[in-house]
Each structure stands twice: as structure tokens, then as C-alpha cells.
Amino acid sequence: MNSDNAWWRGSVTYQIYPRSFMDSDGDGVGDLNGIASRLDHVASLGVDAIWLSPVFMSPMADMGYDVSDYTAIDPSFGTMADFDALVARAHELGLKVIIDQVLSHSSDQHPFFTESRTSRDNDKADWYVWADPKPDGTAPNNWLAIFGGTAWEWDASRRQYYFHNFLKEQPDWNFHNPDVQDYLLDCMRFWLDRGVDGFRLDTANFYFHDKLLRDNPANPQPWAQDAIRPFEMQYTLFSKNQPENIAFLERMRALLDEYDARTMVGEIGDGHHSIELMGEYTSGKRLHMAYSFEMLGPDFSPEHFRSRIENFFEGAPNGWPCWAFSNHDMERHVGRWSAHGTDQDALAKQAAALLFGFEGSICMYQGEELGQIDTVLTFDELTDPEGINFWPEKKGRDGCRTPMVWDADAPNGGFSVANKTWLPVKQPQQDRAVSAQGKNSVLEFYRDMLALRQSEDDLKTGKTGFLDLPDPVLGFTRGDGFVCVYNLSPKPVNVTLPESAEICLVQKAKLTGKKLELGGNGFIVAKRKPRVTQKP
């Protein structure tokens, strides 16, 4: 194992959604032993770490992001012994293990919430966010929940409302109470002592709320009033992103600094100033990395990618980003950007070359190395509350969460022997199983591109210099050694580079001197030729 305390800088992490990775016991749901049995595949990609979405005790109202016991494994995934064995196997293969920490809220089945709601004067009475109704009985303010409706739920026992940013089954902790902070830090220490290498912090900018419970103003963005989710119509000035967050991040960092070679990556979800928050949260002794949603949307243009990277490093020269194109909450990028591709494979390979060329750390999502797109599901097949609440205008997150496919000829793609899996495996996904990925496949390209990135310091941590090339071409140098150029369109283009280079990886491109011909979704990742200095 790499014991370097800065191993995370420039690293590549593979996100595993445990319910959908591999089912070892035939119940149709993925589990820890299943993950352990497939880690050879992950290690063969050349990544540095795995990130496990939650495997803690949970009623599964939000598929594990509603935790009822932070230091126990949910039986649907296995046992604590299974978890320890998974960590040991990952470490044998040279993989770090990062686990999700869902700290902004718990399940309403957490014993502390069960106690908190019984009265206004019990030991846990102020561990969650409670507030009196207005005189007319309505909620304390106008805050909205992400999954729809008000962010306040009435509790008859206390004759008060409690606050929840997500489902009513996910009450928010009261971080203004130092005992809450201490408890959650102790839960993190439990996992550090078990040997995990770091944490992915869910909704890391949601921890604190405004003590005065002031109303959020309207979202000034022009698109907001046409949003499907009412939550997006508000500028969440007071319900999240509070300045007190910083001190708690510093407390978490101090905890991790007691251990060798550990890391934290915080999910920063904000539609207003996420790049600025990423910089603020990773400056100094706070988060090591900030996970960005900035590249998880529909934008696929040179200006967008360039501005995100430039803005981050200009605003936070001492901070560090973590970029991703797909995850368990968003439509897979190959489908999301299909209008910009010549075909599914070409776009998938270009996206890999692009993402792994970026300065920062990288997170990839299971199945993207196969070039997968979302599974098309019917309403009766959904499990995700977001999809159920907003169907059909917003189909939710189940489409990107369907099981990993290992064997094109096996039932359920080799994921499970069950008659029915928790989400279905359909033919378009099965056709892209690991077993079907042969020569010149998306999987082979992922391995090649990752091998190149891992072997070259310039591609891992070298500074970025953007080239002034015409749209739709994006080009940049990395350190002194590399130049990367991408045609982000399905139509061919020709450009002239400022210097000649030697190609390392290529798709639909021809380089003659400084003249570069790029087919649709063509790109080059090339070594810059040393400049010859003429003697006087």
C-alpha cells in the first residue's frame, strides 16, 4: 500500500454502489462479499482507491443514505467481518478504501431521533433541528425539501416541526450542538480504527443551518422558475452553506491528521457558487478534496470545461478538486452527452481521455468503463423516491443504479442468480458486460488511459495551460510533458498546434507536424517534444 500522506493528490477513485455491484448470496441485492469477489476487476483498471456508497444499518428509505446506526453494517450487505475482509482484500490489491459518511442527517429510525421526538426536555431533545409552528400552525419558514414539498415535518409528540433537507425520514442533525459534532466524529474514528483510508462526505455543505431560521429568497437564475423541483426555485442562502461549516471541517481534518495517509473528499452540491465553496472548503486544514457536480450536467463544451478548471485553480490555488462525469445520482454521461457523439464507444473513450487528462483528482463510477448508459425503466420498476415523486418529467436515479454486468451470457449479466434483482438488468446493458469487452473496447481504452496517467507525474499533478483553439476543440498542456486535444463534436475539424508532439493515445486523429486533423470525437494525448535551444 502507498503510505504517502498525499497519495490522494491526482488519484483516481472507483465508486462502487454496493446494491448493484455483485450479489454473492442470491437475494438479488449486491453485498460486501460480492464486492470483494470482483475487486480484481477494479484493480486491473489501475485506479488508486474504491469509494463505497453507504453499507450502514438503514431502513433504506433512501437506499442507505438514511443511516440508523453509523457503526453497524446493514444485514442486506453482510456482516462487520465481511467488511473487514473486504478492506483486507482491497489493501492486498493495492487499493485504498473510502467509505461514505452521511453526516448531515440520519434516519428517523436512529435511536437518538426516536428519543429526541419524545419530549422537549430529554437528553437528545436538541440533537435535531426542532422549531415551533407559526401562530397559524404553518411551518417555521419557507425552506423546501430536495425531494419535494416543505422541509418541515410536524411531530405530534413534541408539538413542533423538525427539519429535513431530503425525505421526512431523514431528519437533519443540529450541528450547533457540540455534542452532535462529538458523536459524529466518534463514529468516524470507529471506521478509521478499522483501517479505512478515508471518507466521502455526503452533502458536506449542508451540515449547519441558520439559527434564526430566516426565509430563503427566490433563486435569481433565469431557469429557476421553470424547474421541475420547487427546491431549485429557492436560493438556499440560509438552509445550507453556513459559515459555521468551516470550523467543523477543521475538526474533521484534525481527526484524520491523527492517522497516516487518510483523506476526505467532500461532496459540494450547490447551484449558485459551488466552485467558490470547493475552493474555500479545501483551503488550509479542511477537506483534502472537494467533489464537484460542475461536470455532471448537460454542458459539453470547451468553454465549460475550461472555465470550471480555470476558475477553481485561480480562486483556490492551494485547494484541490475531484472531478467526475457520472455517479449514482446523475444520468450516466455517455447518454447525457449522446448528441455530441458519433457513437456510444467513441464518446465513451473520448470522455475517459478527457476526464483522466484533467488536473485534480478523479472519481469514476462503476460501469462507465463499459461505456454504459442509463437503463430505461418503467414506473412500476422504480425504487427511487425522487423518480416516484417527479415522474415522468424527472425519472429519478434508478436508471444509473441498475446492476453491474459481468457476463453477457449469464442471467442478470452475472450479477446475481436471483429470479428477480432489486433493479432489472436489461439487454442494452447486458450487451456491454465485462466479458463482451474485447480488443479496442471501451474497457481496454480505460486501462490504457489510466496506465498512462498513473505512469506520468505531469498527467497526475502537472499544472494546466489551456490552448487558444477554436470551438468545438478543447486543448491544454499538462506540466512540461503533455498536450491533450479533443474535438467535442461529431463533425471533423482541423487545427494547428503551437508545437509538435508525439502521440501516446489517439482516436480518429492524424498529426502531421503541427497540423492536427480530428474526426468526430477525435482526440490525442501526446508528449510534447523538447524544445531545441539554438546556441548563439
Q: Decide if 456 is inside a domain.
A: no
Identify the CATH number of the domain in which residue 213 sits: 3.20.20.80
Instruction: Using the predicted structure, report yes or no on whether residue 182 has a pLDDT greater than 80.
Output: yes
In angstroms, the CA 131 to CA 146 distance is 19
Domain boundary among 450, 477, 497: 450
- Per-residue pLDDT reduced to its tens digit, 101-158: 999 999 999 999 999 999 999 999 999 999 999 999 999 999 999 999 999 999 999 9
Read off the pLDDT of each residue in 349-378 and give the average, rounded to a whole number: 98
- 343 and 473 belong to one structural domain: no
Q: Where are the beta strands (DSSP E) in 353-436?
A: 361-365
Q: pLDDT band at residue 354, thresholds of 50, 70 and 90?
A: very high
Read off the pLDDT of each residue in 383-398 and give the average, rounded to a whole number: 95
- 430 and 482 belong to one structural domain: no
Domain boundary among 450, 473, 488: 450
Q: Decide if 377 is inside a domain.
A: yes
- 241 and 332 belong to one structural domain: yes
- 199 and 279 belong to one structural domain: yes
In angstroms, the CA 302 to CA 415 distance is 37
In angstroms, the CA 423 to CA 405 distance is 12
Read off the pLDDT of each residue in 337-348 and give the average, rounded to a whole number: 98
- 236 and 304 belong to one structural domain: yes
What are the C-alpha distances in Å from 33 to residues 2, 23, 64?
Answer: 24, 8, 18
In the block, residue with C-alpha cell 484533467:
358
Q: pLDDT band at residue 3, thresholds of 50, 70 and 90?
A: low
- Per-residue pLDDT reduced to its tens digit, 123-139: 999 999 999 999 999 99
What residue numbers bound the domain in which 234 lies? 12-104+178-450
% residues pLDDT > 70 (the chain): 98
- 410 and 309 belong to one structural domain: yes
Residue 289, φ and ψ in degrees, nearest 5? -140, 155
Q: Decide if 152 is inside a domain.
A: no
Q: Name the residues annotated as catalytic.
A: 202, 258
- Per-residue pLDDT reduced to its tens digit, 435-480: 999 999 999 999 999 999 999 999 999 999 999 999 999 999 999 9
- 471 and 445 belong to one structural domain: no
DSSP string covering 446-462, please? Answer: HHHHHHHHHH-HHHHHP
Q: Say which amino acid occupies 386.
A: E
C-alpha cell at 274: 459551488
Domain boundary among 450, 480, 509: 450
- Per-residue pLDDT reduced to its tens digit, 214-271: 999 999 999 898 999 999 999 999 999 999 999 999 999 999 999 999 999 999 987 6
- 97 and 231 belong to one structural domain: yes
Q: pLDDT band at residue 159, thresholds of 50, 70 and 90?
A: very high
- Torsion sign, CA atoms 149, 152, 157, 159: negative
Q: What is the largest CA-CA distance in the chain?
A: 88
Looking at residue 536, its pLDDT comes to: 53
Looking at residue 271, its pLDDT comes to: 67
Identify the CATH number of the domain in which residue 502 sits: 2.60.40.1180
- 425 and 508 belong to one structural domain: no
Looking at residue 479, its pLDDT comes to: 97
Q: Decide if 151 is inside a domain.
A: no
Looking at residue 531, its pLDDT comes to: 64
* Average pLDDT for the chain: 96
Name which of 342, 436, 330 is nearest 374 in CA terms.
330
Looking at residue 270, its pLDDT comes to: 77
Q: Decide if 123 is inside a domain.
A: no
Instruction: Using the predicted structure, report yes or no on whether residue 532 has a pLDDT greater than 80.
Output: no
Helices (H), 93-177: 111-116
Looking at residue 125, its pLDDT comes to: 98
H-run or E-run covering 86: helix 80-92
Contact between 63 and 388 under an 8 Å Cβ cutoff? The reply is: no
Q: Decide if 54 is inside a domain.
A: yes
Q: Decide if 371 is inside a domain.
A: yes
Instruction: Using the predicted structure, report yes or no on whether residue 484 has a pLDDT greater than 90.
Output: yes
Q: pLDDT band at residue 2, thresholds of 50, 70 and 90?
A: very low
Question: Crossing angle of helices 344-355/442-455, nearest 10°?
Answer: 10
H-run or E-run covering 510: strand 501-512
Contact between 212 and 144 under an 8 Å Cβ cutoff? The reply is: no
In angstroms, the CA 315 to CA 312 distance is 5
| pTM as predicted | 0.97
- 446 and 486 belong to one structural domain: no
Read off the pLDDT of each residue in 512-534 and give the average, rounded to a whole number: 88
Looking at residue 535, its pLDDT comes to: 54
Instruction: Using the predicted structure, report yes or no on whether residue 342 has a pLDDT greater than 90.
Output: yes
- 471 and 370 belong to one structural domain: no
Q: Decide if 66 is inside a domain.
A: yes
- 484 and 438 belong to one structural domain: no
Number of domains in the chain: 2
Looking at residue 1, its pLDDT comes to: 42
